Structure 1
Amino acid sequence: MGHTRKRLDRDGNPRYTAYYNDHLGKKRSAGTYNTKKEANRAWHAAETKVSEGRSRHLVKGRQRFRDYVEQTFLPNHNVELTTMTNYIYALEAHILDCFGDMRMAEIYPDDIRAWITELKAKGLSNGTIAKQKTVLSAVFSSAFNDEVIVFNPCHRVKIGPVQRKALTIVTPEEFDRFHEALPDDQSKLVVEVAISTGLRWGELSELRPKDFEFARNLLTVSRSVVSIPKKHSPTGERFHVKDYPKDGERRSFKVEPAVVHKVERWVKTRALAPEDLLFRYDPQRPAAKPPEPADLGWTKPNGEGRTYRHGTASGYNAGKCRCRHCKSAIAAYRALRRAAGLDNPRKQRRWDTDGHLPGEYFREQVIKPALKEAGIQTSIRMHLLRHAHASWLLSGGADLQVVKERLGHSRISTTERYLHALADADETALEAFNKVRNRSNSHTPPPDAPNAATTAATHLTAEKILTEMSRLQAELTKLVSKEIPRAA
């Protein structure tokens, strides 16, 4: 119930403040007036407006959560296709089962807390729950704007601390082993371009020859491609090319000349037109010529002590060898039998694509086998190569702003994550500290210190250095003065 409260201003004159209760029952001010009649009129008008609002909310808020999501939120929420796909996945996997049959106006913060507790009981991490809550909060924010509900029940509901995972950065040595184990020329070039540019997968798989200025070693990133399930695609197609990268702005930067030369040679060898995809999914492309078994050596002795040549079906079956060459040999053998109608031949497996390299295919069929072949424990993903590119640049002394612009980050704080990401970055910091700390001869490192400076140059004081420089300058002056008359 609203009311009016009398108070005095600084001159002692009476003033009247009008108060009313909002839709949450909290006391609010409707303003301060010169007369009590004006104040009463103000709080009456405010409460009438609140009552009208409640009536609208009561009608709209009776619809079910599932109906609002499917009929209003998803059709009209304007976001990127990949974001919408993630929304749909979160709604179907973790949200609709809990809130789908509840009325919008009857969902309160305690319901959100109970849902979070249920997700934690299922083993979801706080980070994963935070992502689901973001989607749920987006639904309620939209409902609030549509005057379906009077407040967002997700506000002020806490999940718990979300620990940020430390970045795992592949070392140059690990990358070289991984690169050597890749199966063909295309996959090797894809990975080499990725580590040299730091492109996102959507930008990398959308590269075309026209994006390179080969004479200037310059790459322009102006598009990206996204892959979404067909059932969520507005056009029914899986791949959608966007005329802008993720950050919304095209960017150009220099690329290592050796890599640009390899790309140029790749384009010429395959006679690619400027608009053609640089890398294509083509399971029919001829495989690289396998090495001769005689050049590969022998397998380890099996249980009977027998050895077999690498790169043969016998090496795979009898020798139990699972190296890349033996697996390729048995795959070729089985392919020949299927082509001859033997072994119940199946249709060739193909990924649904318009020619773009599917990310899942490249991860499962190319990256994982190469990691196993190279014996690398680090779980290298294509985005991890982007992390490595940034970390290597910063570790090598590149400017932070330059790295930010190469990667297309909108905020420099994102780029700062890569500072000191390499394992030896802390050693570099110690070396820099010791370089300054040991300049003074008042501090003598212990003899057994691993980086103890024992040369005379390390112990030169500033005064001695200046004296030596003066002596050298005097000698140089004498030499110059002798040469001038001779030249005259």
Structure 2
Amino acid sequence: MEWRAKIITHRGERRVAVFFKKDDILLAQIKRTTGARWSQSLTVWHLPDTDENRKSFGLPLLSELRPSEEGFKSLEKFKLWMRSKRYSESTITTYADAAKSFLVFFNEKPLNEITNEDIVLYNNGYILRNHLSASYQNQVVSAVKLFFKTIHDRKIEIESIHRPRREKVLPNVLSKEEVKQILEAHSNIKHKVMLSLIYSCGLRRAELLQLKPSNIDSKRNIITILQAKGKKDRITPLSPKVLEILRDYYKTYKPTVWLFEGHVKGERYSEQSLQSVLKHALVKAGITKPVTLHWLRHSYATHLLESGTDLRYIQELLGHSRSRTTEIYTHVSTKSLQQIKSPYDDL
């Protein structure tokens, strides 16, 4: 059987083109493939660019591809540029991985030939085809815009790159009863105080693990959170009830460097172990919802709002840069909704 296959762009879409001499068996196989089309102008049969079709015709899978040498070198420069701008390591990793995904898709195209149309092609040919989320698509757009800002010889117009419409996803919120069940599930005081601090102070996971004993001011009942998301410091009130169990924890474990350390003194408690702490609490509490640590932060903000705390203070406590980010909690607060009487009750 004599044939060859290659990736082509046809009418703004990536396709697997199959070139072959007359072969009834191969032709029948291609015709049976979903999405197969004949191009009169190119005089070739072409199929959707999927891993299944790539595998069938001996082409490397997208997951196996690497950026071109030019792309790889540019990615390394991109990382150095972000470090010089003091981006956090987690942001550098996220942006570099997103930009790499884009460059892999165009690994045979010189960077100075990539245009805005290629971003549309990537969105349709990779993100949408693989049913990836709008938030991931938005992440890639942010990474690509920043990446091409560091490349001067380019055809791409950065300001013309459009973003996907944001999904209107409401934060997940637990009831106070559910929160209490989770916080009381563990008998281990270390596990108990970690979860209690996340909820009682609205902390992000990384913020909790970055805490040092010196960040706790027991006389003023506050916690200082240093260099959190966006390189911002902030303070948050410390509950007297949480301070009590925090003191018991400190006497028992005597942390040295970090407030919460692993089995080895001086080593920070791992994110994976913290997630495991929550997972076991959910099992013990009999809660089957897919709760994450961030749900506790969302619940903290919503419960504050329902108790009458001004939205501006909640914004400060959470460390949000924009009030719009905090306003989403007004959509999940049930305080006003509970005061609305259903017309069904008057029937």
For normalisation by structure 2, the TM-score amounts to 0.71
Q: Of the candidates 137, 151, 156, which is equivalent to residue 129 of structure 1?
A: 137
Q: Of the candidates 84, 95, 107, which is equivalent to residue 102 of structure 2?
A: 95
Q: Is the 8 A contact 1:194 1:385 kept in 2?
A: yes
Paired residues, number: 276
Question: Residue 231 of structure 2 aligns to which amino acid in structure 1?
Answer: G
Q: Within 5 Å, which residues of 2 pair with 1:169-188?
A: 169-182=173-186, 184-188=188-192
State the Cα distance separating 1:430 from its structure 2 match. Answer: 2.7
Q: Does 1:265 align with 2:248?
A: yes
Question: Residue 72 of structure 1 aligns to which amino acid in structure 2?
Answer: K
Give the structure 2 partner of residue 384 of structure 1. Answer: 295
Aligned partners of 1:245 and 1:271: how far apart in 2? Answer: 25
Q: Is the 8 A contact 1:64 1:102 kept in 2?
A: no
Question: Residue 132 of structure 2 aligns to which amino acid in structure 1?
Answer: L
Q: SS where residue 153 of structure 2 aligns? A: coil
Aligned partners of 2:249 and 2:242: how far apart in 1? Answer: 11
Q: Of the candidates 79, 88, 93, which is equivalent to residue 85 of structure 1?
A: 93
Aligned partners of 1:366 and 1:254: how far apart in 2? Answer: 24
State the Cα distance separating 1:267 from its structure 2 match. Answer: 1.8
Q: SS where residue 379 of structure 1 aligns? A: coil
Aligned partners of 1:191 and 1:110: how far apart in 2? Answer: 47
Give the structure 2 partner of residue 142 of structure 1. Answer: 150
The 1:152/1:359 distance shift into structure 2, 3 A limit, reads: same
Q: SS where residue 236 of structure 2 aligns? A: strand
Q: Identical aligned pairs, as a percentage? A: 25
The 1:426/1:270 distance shift into structure 2, 3 A limit, reads: same
Q: For structure 1, which segment, 353-362 or 81-90, has the greater mean C-alpha deviation from structure 2 after superposition?
A: 353-362
Aligned partners of 1:271 and 1:84: how far apart in 2? Answer: 34
The 1:105/1:418 distance shift into structure 2, 3 A limit, reads: same
Q: Within 5 Å, which residues of 2 pair with 1:331-350?
A: none
Give the structure 2 partner of residue 210 of structure 1. Answer: 214
Larger Rg: 1
Q: Does 1:69 align with 2:89?
A: no
Give the structure 2 partner of residue 403 of structure 1. Answer: 314
Q: Of the candidates 270, 283, 300, which is equivalent to residue 358 of structure 1?
A: 270
Aligned partners of 1:357 and 1:249: how far apart in 2? Answer: 22
State the Cα distance separating 1:155 from its structure 2 match. Answer: 4.5
Aligned partners of 2:339 and 2:150: how far apart in 1? Answer: 49
Question: Residue 300 of structure 2 aligns to which amino acid in structure 1?
Answer: H
Q: Is the 8 A contact 1:66 1:101 kept in 2?
A: no
Q: Does 1:427 align with 2:337?
A: yes
Question: Residue 75 of structure 2 aligns to which amino acid in structure 1?
Answer: E
Aligned partners of 1:256 and 1:165: how far apart in 2? Answer: 30
Aligned partners of 1:412 and 1:162: how far apart in 2? Answer: 17
Q: Does 1:113 align with 2:120?
A: yes
For residues 333-372 of structure 1, the C-alpha deviation after alignment (integer angstroms, 9 at most, x for no partner) is xxxxxxxxxxxxxxxxxxxx96212112221x32223323
Question: Residue 79 of structure 2 aligns to which amino acid in structure 1?
Answer: L
For residues 25-71 of structure 1, the C-alpha deviation after alignment (integer angstroms, 9 at most, x for no partner) is xxxxxxxxxxxxxxxxxxxxxxxxxxxxxxxxxxxxxx975155235
Aligned partners of 1:245 and 1:105: how far apart in 2? Answer: 37
Q: SS where residue 329 of structure 2 aligns? A: coil
Aligned partners of 2:93 and 2:283: how far apart in 1? Answer: 32
The 1:215/1:71 distance shift into structure 2, 3 A limit, reads: closer
Aligned partners of 2:137 and 2:80: how far apart in 1? Answer: 24
The 1:101/1:154 distance shift into structure 2, 3 A limit, reads: farther
Runs of 5+ unmatched residues, structure 1: 1-62, 223-243, 284-352, 435-445, 451-488
Q: SS where residue 281 of structure 1 aligns? A: coil
Give the structure 2 partner of residue 248 of structure 1. Answer: 231
Aligned partners of 2:253 and 2:286: how far apart in 1? Answer: 32
Aligned partners of 2:271 and 2:111: how far apart in 1? Answer: 38
Q: Within 5 Å, which residues of 2 pair with 1:465-480?
A: none
For normalisation by structure 1, the TM-score amounts to 0.51
RMSD: 2.9
For residues 118-141 of structure 1, the C-alpha deviation after alignment (integer angstroms, 9 at most, x for no partner) is 121122123222211221222222
State the Cα distance separating 1:198 from its structure 2 match. Answer: 0.7
State the Cα distance separating 1:76 from its structure 2 match. Answer: 2.5
Aligned partners of 1:282 and 1:117: how far apart in 2? Answer: 47
Question: Residue 138 of structure 1 aligns to which amino acid in structure 2?
Answer: L
Aligned partners of 2:242 and 2:249: how far apart in 1? Answer: 11
The 1:251/1:134 distance shift into structure 2, 3 A limit, reads: closer
